[in-house]
Structure 1
Amino acid sequence: MIRTAGLVKNYGRVTALRGIDLEVPAGAVYGFIGRNGAGKTTTLRILAGLLVPDGGVAEICGRDVVENPRAVRAAVGYMPDFFGVYDGLRAGEYLLFYAATYGIRGERAAKLRDDLLELVELGDKREDFVDTLSRGMQQRLCLARSLIHDPPVLLLDEPASGPDPMARVKMREILKELCRLGKTMLISSHILSELADLCTHIGIVTGGRLVRQGPLNEILAGAAERNIIMRCNEQLPEAVKLVAGWPGAEIVNATKEQIEFRLAGGPADMAGLLRALITLGVPVTHFAQTEQSLEETFIQLAGEGNGA
């Protein structure tokens, strides 16, 4: 549904994108993760048809964003991080205004307005002026605006930035409902814990380069460093010595009955170390990898990208 190949964008002497190759399958909720200035917003603006790339290709639903911008804009709902709102309009009028820009008027527009306000939990705010709404409500109103023409693809730039925790929870539940409705979403955000709860796929961008992308579970499972907890009936100095001297292993903490350590590599490295411990005669009762958080994976992979 969303594809870029070798995407490049320069701002004068500054290169914002250095060959982004993005792949977002249909129905995916794709978390686009990166530090400020990594290139996330520039990528979304190109995909929305608001910026022209200096190199490479960007496509939405198989249509080139430069060669066929009208078709692309019809297929995309774009929610920017910082958005302009018409403060003198009521929330309902705001949606009717944007419906009219897509040629939607009359009873159809009125039904869309009411349905979308209910979807974003603003049904009771239809007659309220936009400038009286909280930031979280304004963000949900902007999300409703991006849905007014029922696009299959949503480009959401920091949709949960700023609001209080309850507002973020509401936004996350709305996005989950859109996922159930079959929307394909590319979401830029720095609230990594919430993306882990929501996304099916992630892409990690740093310095204008995409350093890793794929299904979320594969990214987390494929991290180079694994945190492992090992327990045994009796701690043996030989066990600590073996783990400490094992290639790619680093002990984080060791108690009388437990060793916590990091291990570089994959399942084969874990199996090799466990086999060595058993051969040594260590009475191992628990040996398992702990779940690595999205934040830890991002820090690790972003660091690798900076070092590249």
Structure 2
Amino acid sequence: MIPYHSDNAVIELRRLHRSFGKTRAVNDVSFSVPRGTVFGYIGPNGAGKTTSMRILATLELPTLGDAYVDGFSVVNDPDHVRRRLGFMPDAFGTYPSVNCHEYIDFYARAYGLAGRQRHQRVRWVMDFTRLDGIAEKPIRGLSKGMKQRLCLGRALVHDPAVLILDEPAAGLDPRARIELRRMIRALAEDGKTVLVSSHILTELAEMCDRVGIIEQGRLLATGSVDEIQRQQRTHREFVVRVIDHRDTAVQMLESNDHVSHLIVDGELVRFQYEGDVTHQATLLASLIAAGVSVAEFSSHARSLEDVFMQVTEGLVQ
């Protein structure tokens, strides 16, 4: 079977639909993820994230459309897809009577690894996930963080090109989340393509190269956080501290076409500004030239959480 390739895309959804009765869990979703990219998939509960991921993992069939993993169709070539993909679901089954090493080794055998190759992959997975120190520990005695490492190890044991991680940081303590984030970035730097969903948007903002925002089954925006901000005409928020001639500053700002949502709070003047850095420099220079005593002139781009709240409406289905 010859794989289908679209530029450098390793994950590609093409007009994907999935319906359950009258509910359209995934409604005409299309996006692609290049090799070596960490793609954050975010949306409210019931938005269609898990359904999309299950389709990519060949656990669900689309109603319409198709998805490709490393060039192979999830509809026509599911066996080829499974060899190239590692799936980490939000909940997974374990066997309480086996230990960590036995668990990983079992899945290595299930993927057809044998002999020296199997031993090398199991050893690498145990080392990468830092489970080697507890290799003989029964699974029933593992913490939530260690169980998540074990599930990630299971997804990695056959050396897939693509990883699909559904809420991998759910229930983890701060240290475990940081360590998981570092592992995901290391995998991307090694050339693996990662699609990860999470409700912890600050985590995604720090680890992801690109994000996709989905609600009620529809993809609302995709790209880097900066790109989505530009798509949504998201302005930067500015704070100016004025210690003299405040009224002059307010009049100048109110007459500026790039300024909106101006609020005066004592010495502080807050507003949203859509101009680029050249316009920002010109604005500051004009305030100073008009005799305004500016003690502070600062801005910050809106976070992924801000963008998420702007793009979505909190709708469920």
TM-score clears 0.5: yes
Offset of residue 166 of structure 1: 1.7
Alignment of 1:1-308 (within 5 A): 1-220=10-229, 223-232=233-242, 234-244=244-254, 249-256=260-267, 258-263=268-273, 265=274, 267=276, 274=283, 278=287, 281=290, 283=292, 285=294, 287-303=297-313
Q: Deviations over 1:214-270 (max 9, x none)?
A: 1234334555232122344524213324535766611245332x312124x453996
Q: Which runs of 5+ in 1 are unaligned?
A: none
| 1:171-226, Cα deviation, whole Å (9 max, x unpaired) | 11211221221111000111111111111111111111111111234334555232
CA distance in 2, matches of 1:44, 1:282: 58
Identity of aligned residues (%): 37
Q: Mean Cα displacement is larger for which, 247-256 or 146-155?
A: 247-256
- Whether contact under 8 Å (1:246, 1:273) holds in the other structure is no
For 2:93 and 2:180, the matched residues in 1 are separated by 19
Q: Normalising to structure 1: TM-score of the pair? A: 0.89
Per-residue CA deviations over 1:36-82 (Å, capped at 9, x if unaligned) read 11111011100111100111121111211101111111111100001
| C-alpha separation in 1, matches of 2:303 and 2:279 | 19
SS of residue in 2 equivalent to 1:138: helix
Q: 1:142 to 1:267 in 2, by over 3 A?
A: same
AA aligned opposite 2:110: T
Describe the shift of the 1:251–1:269 C-alpha distance in structure 2 as closer, same or farther (beyond 3 A): farther
Cα deviation, residue 163, structure 1: 1.5
User: Cα gap change, 1:245/1:273 in structure 2, threshold over 3 Å: closer, same or farther?
Assistant: farther
Shift of 1:282: 5.5
Amino acid paired to 1:121:
R
1:236 maps to a residue whose letter is R
Q: Distance in 1 between matches of 2:59 and 2:264?
A: 51
Unpaired segments of 5 or more residues in structure 2? 1-9
Query: How many angstroms apart in 2 are the aligned matches of 1:201 and 1:220?
Result: 12
CA distance in 1, matches of 2:118, 2:277: 59
Post-superposition CA distance 1:86-135 (Å, at most 9, x none): 22211101011101111112332222222211111111111111111111
Judged with a 3 Å threshold, the aligned counterparts in structure 2 of structure 1 residues 85 and 290 are, in CA distance, closer, same or farther, namely: same
Equivalent residue letter for 1:229: V
Q: Which secondary structure does the structure 2 equivalent of 1:95 belong to?
A: helix
Q: Is the 8 A contact 2:121 2:158 kept in 1?
A: no
Q: Which amino acid aligns with 1:62?
A: G
> Separation in 2 of the partners of 1:220 and 1:191?
19
Secondary structure in 2 aligned to 1:114? helix
One-letter amino acid matched to 2:247? P
Residues matched between the structures, number: 303
Q: 1:52 is paired with a residue of what secondary structure? A: coil
- Matched residues in 1 for 2:278 and 2:262: separation? 15
Please give the secondary structure, in 2, of the residue aligned with 1:24. strand
Instruction: Return the alpha-carbon distance in structure 2 between the equivalents of residues 54 and 163 of structure 1.
Output: 35
* Alpha-carbon distance in structure 2 between the residues aligned to 1:196 and 1:216: 8
TM-score for both structures, normalised by structure 2? 0.87
Give 3-state SS (helix, strand or coil) of 1:4's partner: strand
The SS at the match of 2:136 is: coil
1 CA distance for matches of 2:84 and 2:163?
9
Contact 2:211–2:224 (Cα < 8 Å) also in 1: yes
| Segment drifting more, 23-32 vs 226-235 | 226-235
